[in-house]
Structure 1
Amino acid sequence: MSAAPEGFSYRVRKSGDVELLHHGRPAGVLRGAAATRFLVDIDTTDPQQLMARLTGNYKHGNERTARRHPRNR
């Protein structure tokens, strides 16, 4: 099992764009329809997981390999 994503937040700009932040640092910007869809989806799903998926910081595919590495044993 991987840990749940954490440390994500967002802020809505005056222009309507949504800025995604990870530990206070910019991780992505959503504009137009994507920003609108995000603001609707944020109320119905897990916000941390949604922001992790949108920024691409989610399940890179090497989790199993990293778990077997000698450094992580």
Structure 2
Amino acid sequence: MSRPQGFSYAAHGDGTVVITHRGRAAATLRGGRAGKFLAEVESGDAQLVMARWTGSYKFGNERTARDHPRNRR
């Protein structure tokens, strides 16, 4: 399985964390959830942590979707 890519996050001064995937907002975390996320992202693989927190993690159809004629480049 390939490693997730394209995730980034921005922590704002009011305690809000916005996770983006390829430039689009994927999740907004506030309060305690934002704190837990920041602690976890510092201690592990940031891309995997962000994929898990946004729910974009291991759907099982990644390979078949990639091979579909519509998605070939």
Q: Secondary structure at the match of 2:37?
A: helix
What is the total number of aligned residue pairs between the two structures? 68
CA RMSD, Structure 1 to Structure 2 (Å): 1.9
Change (3 A) 1:3 1:26: same
Quote the sequence identity (%).
44
Runs of 4+ in structure 1 displaced over 4 angstroms?
none
Structure 2: gaps of 5 or more residues? none
For 2:59 and 2:5, the matched residues in 1 are separated by 16
- Which structure has the highest helix share of the two? 2
Correspondence 1:4 to 2:7: no
Structure 1: gaps of 5 or more residues? none
Q: Secondary structure at the match of 2:44?
A: coil
* Equivalent residue, structure 1, for 2:58: 59
Shift of 1:13: 1.7
* Equivalent residue, structure 1, for 2:17: 18
TM-score (norm 1): 0.80
